[in-house]
């Protein structure tokens, strides 16, 4: 668990902060999942060879599918979590498979492909985190809506870097289209309110900045292209504290 936590702290400080705001009992189930997400997210970027990147992703897909644990600082705890919490293997597999888009320079085929990417990555991760903490199946649609919106906010923040790496991140990068995309994210965020997750609510803390970031884009879509998305440290701390105490994440 210490290795997973350290990995998340270095590579995903926003989710690290969200986990640290969660009850201690919840953290042990979130660290391996967020570490796995980080491993598959960075797999396409650690090499310029597509075949090697494909092999890295396949390794993680095999980890999810195999019944026996592997001796690895993330794979071992992840295996225990999958078995202990009964996490759906197909959702984990789609999380890894979706990252194949990051390997290549091809644009998304269409808006449906972009939506599927966000649902399999952001939506899938949020639902898995909720499952790990015992969320009921009836909460899936609303939890995934929050995850999709959170995935969108994170993706929009990454647009300048993706473009610098030769990717074509947005199906339509025009100002009006970006504003409309943010509006859709906010609509999904609003639809997630009141998700019946019960004691699994700490899993939703990963969306603590989503609403504010998407409203920022809706008001000024140029913050995406110019790399100006982001909240002040005061706002970040305040929003996380509010949500950790039970306030609305929308």
- Phi-psi bin for 22: left (phi > 0), alpha (psi -120 to 50), beta? beta
- Summarize the confidence of residues 155-177 as an average pLDDT: 97
**Per-residue pLDDT reduced to its tens digit, 39-58:** 999 999 999 999 999 999 99
Tell me, yes or no, whether 10 lies in a domain: yes
Query: Which pair of tokens denotes residue 226?
Result: 């110019």
Domain of 20 in residue numbering reads as 2-244
Asked whether the predicted pLDDT for residue 249 surpasses 70, the reply is no
Tell me, yes or no, whether 209 lies in a domain: yes
Tell me, yes or no, whether 154 lies in a domain: yes
Rounded CA separation 11/15 (Å) = 9
Could you say which DSSP state residue 108 is in?
A: P
Query: What is the number of domains present in the chain?
Result: 1
pLDDT of residue 1: 87
Tell me, yes or no, whether 249 lies in a domain: no
Tell me, yes or no, whether 250 lies in a domain: no
Instruction: Quote the percentage of the chain above a pLDDT of 70.
Output: 99
Tell me, yes or no, whether 236 lies in a domain: yes
Residue bearing the bigger pLDDT, 61 or 247:
61
Tell me, yes or no, whether 92 lies in a domain: yes
Asked whether the predicted pLDDT for residue 250 surpasses 80, the reply is no
- What is the domain-level CATH number for residue 228? 1.10.600.10
Query: Which pair of tokens denotes residue 211?
Result: 């609403």
Rounded CA separation 19/26 (Å) = 8
**Burial of 59 per CB tally in 10 Å (0-12, 13-18, 19+):** middle
**Per-residue pLDDT reduced to its tens digit, 183-216:** 999 999 999 999 999 999 999 999 999 999 999 9
H or E element, residue 41 = helix 24-42
Asked whether the predicted pLDDT for residue 142 surpasses 70, the reply is yes
């Amino acid at each position: 668990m210490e290795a997973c936590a350290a990995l998340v702290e270095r590579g995903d400080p926003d989710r690290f902060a969200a986990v640290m705001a969660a009850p201690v009992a919840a953290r042990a189930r979130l660290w391996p999942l967020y570490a796995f997400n980080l491993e598959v997210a960075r797999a396409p970027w650690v090499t310029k060879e597509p075949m090697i990147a494909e092999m890295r992703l396949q390794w993680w897909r095999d980890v999810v599918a195999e019944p026996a644990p592997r001796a690895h600082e993330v794979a071992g705890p992840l295996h225990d979590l999958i078995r202990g919490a009964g996490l759906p293997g197909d959702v984990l597999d789609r999380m890894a498979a979706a990252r194949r888009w990051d390997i290549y320079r091809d644009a998304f085929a269409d808006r449906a492909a972009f939506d599927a990417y966000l649902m399999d990555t952001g939506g899938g991760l949020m639902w898995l985190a909720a499952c790990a903490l015992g969320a009921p199946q009836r909460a899936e649609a609303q939890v995934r809506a929050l995850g999709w919106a959170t995935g969108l906010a994170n993706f929009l923040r990454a647009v300048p870097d993706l473009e610098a790496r030769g990717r074509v991140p947005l199906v339509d990068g025009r100002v009006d289209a970006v504003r409309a995309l943010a509006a859709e994210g906010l609509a999904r965020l609003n639809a997630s309110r009141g998700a019946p997750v019960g004691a699994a609510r700490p899993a939703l803390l990963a969306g603590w900045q989503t609403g504010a970031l998407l409203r920022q884009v809706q008001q000024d879509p140029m913050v995406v292209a110019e790399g100006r998305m982001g909240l002040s440290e005061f706002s970040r701390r305040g929003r996380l504290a509010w949500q950790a105490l039970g306030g609305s994440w929308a």
